[in-house]
Structure 1
Amino acid sequence: MNAKEIKQLFPILNQEVNGHPLVYLDSAATSQKPVQVIEALDRYYREYNSNVHRGVHTLGTHATDGYEGAREKVRSFINASSTAEIIFTRGTTTAINTVASSYGRSQLTEGDEIVITPMEHHSNIIPWQQVAKATGATLKYVKLHPDGTIDLDDLEEVLSTNTKIVSVMHVSNVLGVVNPVKEIAKMAHQKGAIMIVDGAQSAPHFKVDVQDLDCDFFAFSAHKMCGPTGIGVLYGKKELLEKMEPIEFGGEMIDFVGLQDSTWKELPWKFEGGTPIIAGAIGLGAAIDFLEEIGLDEIARHDHDLAQYAAERLTDIEGMAIYGPKQRTGLVTFNIDDVHPHDVATVLDTEGIAVRAGHHCAQPLMKWLDVTATARASFYLYNTKEDIDALVAGLVKAKEYFGDVF
C-alpha cells in the first residue's frame, strides 16, 4: 500500500482548507487518525462502554478484555518482557513526570547528578529541574556538535559515579536527529545510572525494542502514532517499577484500604489510579494494529526518504536556513531570511498547508540555535513527495510576498 492509498484511510485528510487540498505537515505535533482507529473508538462507546476490572457483567468483561488486550499489544509493539512493565498514562509528559516524581525524588540526594541534553522537549527538562530543586541533585547538560548531534566524548566526561539518571529523547522533535540511545544507555549503566528514553518521536516512526536498547524507562504517546489523544505509555523495568511508589491514589490502584493505611495492587495497576483511559487504550491498540499492518520498517524508510527529499528541495530556495544534520528522519525545521516563521506558517495556511511555527517546546535548543523560533514541516506515512512540492511552492510564494512587502 503506497502513501496515496494510505491517505485515503484518513478521513480528515480528504478535505480542502482555504480552497486548497489539505497538505498536513504537522504530524510531529499530532498525527491524524485512520478510519480503523475511529471505528474502534466508536464501537467501544456504542457497543460495550463500561468500566474495567470491577464488574462481572458482560459489558464490563468486554471492556476489560479490550483494555488489557491493548496492554499486550503495546508490550509486543516495543518488545517488553511482561505486561506488568506497561503502564498506561495520559501521554509522554505524564510518563516522564511519573518517573521523576516517584523514582527521582525518592532515590536522589544532594550531590547526585541528572544528565540530559539541550535538545530535549520541555517535558524532559522541567521535571528534572524540579527534582533537582527538591533533592539537591545537580542537573547537567551534554554538549552538542554543530549539526545538533550529541557529543559522546563530552558525555563520557560529564558522566561520573555521581550520575544517577540519564534522560534523553530518542528522536529530536526539532532537528530530526536519531540519538544513539542504546550506546548512551550502556555508558550510563557503566556509571551505575539509569537510562530514560523519551520515545514520543521514535515509537511512531520505526521499530523500537526496549530490551535491545536496554533502557530502564521508555515513554511515548498514542496521538503521535495514529492513536487517540490523552493516552500514552510508560515502560519500566519490572525491578525498578516494583520499588517505586504510586503518585496518584484512589480507586483501581489499591489492594486493601483500612482506616489508617492501605496497600497497593501489583504491577501495572498500582500506577493506574481511578477509572483508566479505557477508550484511549483500545484506540491505541487499534493504531498499533494499523501500523504493524503497514509495517514499521516501511514507515521508517518512507519517513526518511521524505525528510531527505524535503531537505534537498528546501536547500534550493535562496535565503533558507535548515537546522539539524544531513541524516534526519521525519521532519525538516527551517527559517527564511528576514521572515518570521509565524508569517511563513500563516502564508502556507492560506495555501492549505499546515506546518508548525514557534519554539516547539524546546526553548533551550532555540537558544543553542541562536533563533527565537523556527518553522517545522513534519511527515508521516500518509504524506507524499507531492506534499513536499506543495510546501516548496508555498514557501517560494511566502518569500516573494514578504520580499515585496519589505
Structure 2
Amino acid sequence: MENKLINEFGPFVANTHTETTVSGTAMTMAYHQARKIIKKHVNANAEDILINDGTGMTGVVNKFQRILGLKVPENLKNCFEIPAEKRPIVFISHMEHHSNQTTWLETIADVIVVPACEKGLFCLDTFASLLEEYKERNVKIASVTACSNVTGIKTPYHEIAKLMHQNNGVCFVDFACSGPYVKIDMHPEDSEAYLDAIFLSPHKFLGGPGTSGVLIFNKKLYKNMVPDNPGGGTVSWTNPWGEHKYLDNIEDREDGGTPGFLQVIKTALAIQLKEEMGVENILKREHEIVDLVFNQLKPISNLNILAGEHQDRLGVISFYIDDLHFNLGVKILNDRFGIQTRGGCSCAGTYGHYLLHVDEEKSHELTSKIDSGDLILKPGWIRMSIHPT
C-alpha cells in the first residue's frame, strides 16, 4: 500500500479542484474512485452522503453534531434556553467510547445512557421502555457503538435502528472499533433496520494509519444552507459586494479547502485489503485466537477478565491482576515480553463503572481524589487487542 501511494499516486499529486491538467485530472479521478469504494463497502446508497474529516471518528462525530445544528459555542450557551420538551433526546449504550458520549453531552440534547441488562449487555426491553417514556420528543436519536473497545462485545444495532424508526427516530452507529473486522451494512434486507449514519476510524484498519475519519449519513438529515467549513471549493462564485453562492451538491459543499485526497485514497486501499482478506476469514481467525487466549488466561486465579462470561466477542480482551497496578502490568508485558497492551480505562469510563462495579458513592470518592491530582487509585485495566494477522 505504501509503495502504491508513493510510486503510483505520488507522481500525480495535484490539487483536486482543477481538472485542466493531467495530474489534476488523475488525482481528482482517484479521489472520487476512492470515495466510491468507501461507500460501496458499507452498502451506502444514492441518498447517503460521505464526508471525510479529521483523523478518526472523534472528528467526524463532532462535525456531524455541528451539521445537525446541535452545538452552541460555549460563550453563547447562556444566551439560549431551550425548554426540556423541545430538546433532542439522545440514547447511548452503557459501552460507549468517550467520543460517542462526551460529544453528545456538549450538545443541546438530553443524553440518556441505556442501562445494561443483568448479563451486562445492551437491553432492548429497557430501551423500548425509554422510547415510550420520551415519545413526545420531536428529535430522537440513538447513537451507539457497534462493538465495545474494552470487551469486544457487540450491540444489536440493527434492532436498535428498527426500534428507532418505528418511533420516528434515527440511529447512528460508531464502527471505530469493529469496522476493520466486520461486514458493515447500512441498508440490510429489513427495510426498517437501515442505519441513518455511521462513523469510521480507518486508521484502525490494517494499513490505515494516516487516514481521515469517515462519516456517512442520509441526506434527509442535512438542512443547512451554509457548510460547516466554508472556504475554497465550497462556492460557485463570490463578488466584491459580499454576495456568494455555495455549491448545491452536499458532498462538495462540505469538502472545503484542499481535501485530504491521499488520506481518502489510503482509506480505500485499506478497505480493499480488508475485502481481499475476507470478513469470514478475519472473524474465523479472531475467534480462534480469542478462544486460545481465554483458555490460557482463565485458569490464572488472580487474573480477572472483564465480562469474562462473554466469550463471543471480537478480538478485544481486557483484564486486571489482583494487587498489580495496570500500568505496571502493561510495562512488564510490553517492555519485557514484547506483548503490546494498553493500560487505563480505554476512554470508556462509564462502561468501567459497570465492569468494575463502581457505585455512585465510590465513583464520587474516586473522582474527588482524581480532581485533587491523586491518580494512584484511579481504576483501570490492561487491554489486549488481538489481530487476525
Superposed pair shares fold, TM > 0.5: yes
Q: Alpha carbons of 1:89 and 1:109: their partners in 2 closer, same or farther (altered >3 Å)?
A: farther
**Is the contact between residue 290 and residue 311 of structure 2 (CA under 8 Å) also seen in structure 1?**
no
How far apart, CA to CA, are the structure 1 residues paired with 2:165 and 2:8? 43
Aligned-residue offset at 1:281: 0.9
CA distance in 1, matches of 2:147, 2:177: 5
1:157 is matched with which residue? 129
| Equivalent-residue separation in structure 1 for 2:236 and 2:199 (angstroms) | 26
CA deviations 1:353-401 (Å, max 9, x no partner) are 111111111111122223711111111221xxxxxxxxxxxxxxxxxxx
1:140: Cα distance to partner? 1.0
Shift of 1:149: 1.1
Q: Which residue of 1 aligns with 2:262?
A: 279
Name the stretch that deviates more: 68-77 or 39-48: 39-48
Task: State the partner residue of 2:202.
Answer: 222
Match of 1:101 in 2: 66
Match of 1:327 in 2: 312
Over 3 Å counting, the alpha-carbon distance change for 1:174 and 1:312 in structure 2 is same
Match of 2:332 in 1: 347
Whether contact under 8 Å (1:75, 1:82) holds in the other structure is no
Deviations 1:88-127 (A, max 9, x none): 1222112211221221528997423111122111110112
Alignment deviations for residues 311-354 of structure 1 (CA, whole Å, 9 cap, x no partner): 22211212111112231112111111111111111001121111
Give the match for residue 300 of structure 2: 317
- The whole-number CA distance in structure 2 between the counterparts of 1:244 and 1:217 is 20
Corresponding residue for residue 296 of structure 1? 279
Distance 1:309 1:82, change over 3 A: farther
- Tell me which residue corresponds to 1:29: none
Stretches of structure 1 lacking an aligned partner (at least 5 in a row): 1-36, 383-406
Question: CA 1:45–1:66 in structure 2 vs 1: closer, same or farther (change >3 Å)?
Answer: closer
Which letter maps to 1:338?
D
Matched, 1:375 2:382: yes
Q: Give the alignment of 1:169-188 within 5 angstroms.
A: 169-188=145-164
- Which residue of 2 is the match for residue 117 of structure 1? 93
Please point out which of 194, 198, 215 is paired with 2:174. 198
Matched, 1:43 2:19: no
**Retained in 1: the 8 A contact 2:246–2:253?**
no
Q: Which residue of 1 aligns with 2:235?
A: 254
Q: Which is further off, 192-201 or 47-56?
A: 47-56
User: How far is the alpha carbon of 1:195 from its aligned partner?
Assistant: 0.6
- CA deviation map 1:231-281 (0-9, x unaligned): 121111122236585321111222333414432340312221111111111
Find the aligned partners of 1:114 and 1:330 in 2 and give their Cα distance: 29
8 A Cα contact 1:252 1:269, kept in partner? yes
Asked if structure 2 preserves the Cα contact closer than 8 Å seen for 1:308 and 1:327, the reply is: no
Deviation for aligned residue 1:307: 1.9
SS at the partner of 1:311?
helix
Check the 8 A contact 1:40/1:286 in 2, yes or no: no
Count of matched residue pairs: 342
Runs of 4+ in 1 over 3 A off after TM superposition: 106-110, 241-245
Question: 1:123 and 1:245, CA in 2 relative to 1: closer, same or farther beyond 3 A?
Answer: farther
User: How far, CA to CA, are the matches of 1:83 and 1:229 in structure 2?
Assistant: 28
Deviation at 1:42, TM superposition (A): 1.6
Q: Which amino acid in structure 2 is aligned with residue 376 of structure 1?
A: R
Classify the secondary structure of the residue corresponding to 1:95.
Answer: helix
CA gap 1:83/1:190 in 2 versus in 1, 3 angstroms: closer
Which structure carries more relative contact order (alpha carbon 8 Å, separation 6+)? 1
The residue type paired with residue 346 of structure 2 is H
> Aligned Cα RMSD in Å?
2.1
Q: Go from structure 1 to structure 2 and tell me whether the alpha carbon gap of 1:63 and 1:306 turns closer, same or farther (over 3 Å shift).
A: same
Aligned pair in 2 of structure 1 residues 246, 147: CA closer, same or farther (>3 Å)? farther
Q: Which has the higher helix share?
A: 1
Amino acid in the other structure paired with 2:112: K
For residues 141-189 of structure 1, the C-alpha deviation after alignment (integer angstroms, 9 at most, x for no partner) is: 1001344311111111111322611100001101211110000001111
| Native 8 Å contact 1:359 1:366 kept in 2 | yes
Partner of 2:251: 268
CA distance in 2, matches of 1:252, 1:361: 36
Q: State the shift of 1:230 in Å.
A: 4.1
Which of 344, 351, 375 in structure 2 is aligned with 1:358?
344
**3-state SS in 2 of match to 1:268:** helix
Structure 1: distance between partners of 2:71 and 2:274: 37
SS in structure 2 at match of 1:256: strand
- Deviation at 1:61? 1.0
Provide the secondary structure at the position in 2 that maps to 1:239: helix
Query: Residue 94 and residue 346 in structure 1: after superposition, are their counterparts in 2 closer, same or farther (change >3 A)?
Result: same
Q: Which amino acid aligns with 1:170?
A: A
Contact preservation (8 Å) 2:94, 2:122: no
**Structure 1 residue 198: deviation in Å?**
0.4
Under a length normalisation based on structure 1, what TM-score does the superposition of the two structures give?
0.79
Shift of residue 294, structure 1, vs aligned partner = 1.1
Give the distance between the partners of 2:99 and 2:330, measured in 1 at CA: 24
Does 1:52 find its partner at 2:29?
no
